[in-house]
């Protein structure tokens, strides 16, 4: 598989009242064609900001200050806003966590899908009627693809007429209208109930296989990653702390944070045993010294850890940002 997206040493900063926040600090990652990358992290880990940076959608006062973002051979950071707009929605699409606020309540679903096609699709026929028919045909096809029953009538309906799970499907359908090479889904199931969540995740996996696109699944739920992703990247306080094939990372986590995260998940099987929470909380990202960011919560921390730690090889296709990888937990 060839590399579709390659981000190197990305840094995104927010100038806040409290000071400069490095929300993303030296993140490097790769997404190969057709693969599913899971990005796991808690709030404040920088997982959403990383991909907002890729999309060129970082909101003021945030700013991408360093790094390269190569997508399909082009550095997205060097593109003009117009060129970037052309890529967004056509080659890279994104869905948001909250489908209700991400969809425009004043436009019907069909109109919102048509907008994307009109903006990006040069292959649409020239004639007005033919154009309209083509758009309609494609919209019906897309809604059908995401499993919405009787798509031709539902095309005329407005977002509020759909349930939460259906709205998430519609957002995916809109994202897919131009057959993007990369779909970034930001917490696609967090707002949904478990039974609906399972449907949506299966849909994403299914469509990925059928269209052969790459998917980035941003989530806080390791269970979701375990079931749906080829590779996983764990983020903590603006940095990648561990990265590798999903089964390896989840089966044998190497970084103490990944380990702590897995141990924190309550499971019926653990009844009666104490779950081992990670003590303390995420550090304040303002003015962090260049040292291991997890050391204040780390059971393995030693004075030597107070240095800047690079990503170190941690097995086949794996890396982790920890000096004590070789030692048992």
Q: Which residues contact other proteins (rule: CB under 8 A)?
A: 14, 16-18, 21, 23, 42-49, 52, 58-62, 163, 165-166, 193-199, 201-202, 220-224, 226-228, 247, 250-251, 260-268, 270-271, 274-279, 281-282, 284-286
Residue (100 or 263) nearer to other proteins, CB: 263
Beta strands, E only, the chain: 3-16, 19-32, 36-40, 62-71, 74-75, 92-95, 182-186, 214-219, 231-236, 239-245, 312-313, 319-320
CB of 223 to other proteins, least distance (A): 3
Contact between residue 243 and residue 29 where contact means Cβ atoms under 8 Å apart: yes
Residue (126 or 194) nearer to other proteins, CB: 194
Which of 245, 316, 231, 320 is CA-nearest to residue 31? 231
CB of 128 to other proteins, least distance (A): 34
CB of 220 to other proteins, least distance (A): 6
CB of 114 to other proteins, least distance (A): 26
CB of 68 to other proteins, least distance (A): 21
CB of 133 to other proteins, least distance (A): 31
Residue (6 or 227) nearer to other proteins, CB: 227
CB of 165 to other proteins, least distance (A): 6
Residue (115 or 227) nearer to other proteins, CB: 227
Rounded to whole angstroms, what are the CA distances from 99 to 113, 117, 183, 243?
Answer: 14, 20, 16, 29
- Three-state SS at 87: helix
Residue (137 or 284) nearer to other proteins, CB: 284
Residue (80 or 195) nearer to other proteins, CB: 195
Which of the 8 DSSP states describes residue 286? B
Residue (138 or 231) nearer to other proteins, CB: 231
Residue 296 burial class via C-beta count within 10 angstroms: exposed 0-12, middle 13-18, buried 19 and up: middle
Rg (the chain; Cα; Å): 21
- Three-state SS at 113: helix
């Amino acid at each position: 598989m060839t590399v579709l997206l390659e981000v190197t040493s990305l840094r995104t900063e927010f100038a806040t009242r409290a000071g400069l926040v490095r929300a993303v600090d030296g993140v490097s990652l790769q997404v190969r064609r057709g693969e599913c990358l899971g990005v796991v992290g808690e709030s404040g880990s920088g997982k959403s900001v990383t991909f907002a940076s890729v999309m060129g959608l970082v909101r003021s006062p945030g700013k991408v200050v360093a790094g390269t973002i190569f997508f399909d051979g082009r550095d997205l950071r060097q593109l003009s806003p117009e060129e970037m707009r052309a890529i967004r929605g056509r080659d890279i699409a994104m869905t948001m966590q909250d489908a209700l606020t991400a969809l425009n309540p004043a436009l019907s679903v069909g109109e919102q899908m048509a907008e994307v096609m009109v903006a990006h699709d040069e292959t649409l026929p020239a004639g007005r009627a033919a154009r309209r028919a083509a758009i309609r045909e494609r919209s019906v096809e897309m809604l059908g693809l995401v499993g919405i029953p009787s798509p031709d009538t539902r095309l005329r309906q407005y977002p509020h007429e759909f349930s939460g799970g259906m709205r998430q499907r519609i957002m995916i359908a809109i994202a897919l209208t131009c057959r993007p090479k990369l779909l970034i889904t930001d917490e696609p199931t967090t707002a949904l109930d478990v039974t609906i969540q399972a449907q949506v995740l299966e849909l994403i996996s299914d469509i990925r296989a059928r269209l052969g696109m790459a998917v980035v699944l941003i989530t806080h739920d390791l269970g979701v990653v375990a079931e749906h992703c080829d590779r996983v990247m764990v983020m903590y306080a603006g940095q990648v702390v561990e990265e590798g094939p999903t089964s390896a990372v989840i089966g044998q986590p190497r970084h103490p944070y990944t380990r702590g995260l897995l141990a924190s998940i309550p499971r019926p099987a653990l009844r009666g045993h104490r779950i081992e929470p990670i003590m303390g909380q995420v550090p304040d990202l303002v003015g962090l010294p260049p040292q291991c960011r997890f050391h204040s919560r780390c059971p393995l921390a030693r004075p030597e850890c107070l240095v800047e730690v690079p990503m170190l090889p941690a097995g086949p296709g794996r890396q982790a940002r920890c000096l004590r990888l070789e030692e048992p937990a």
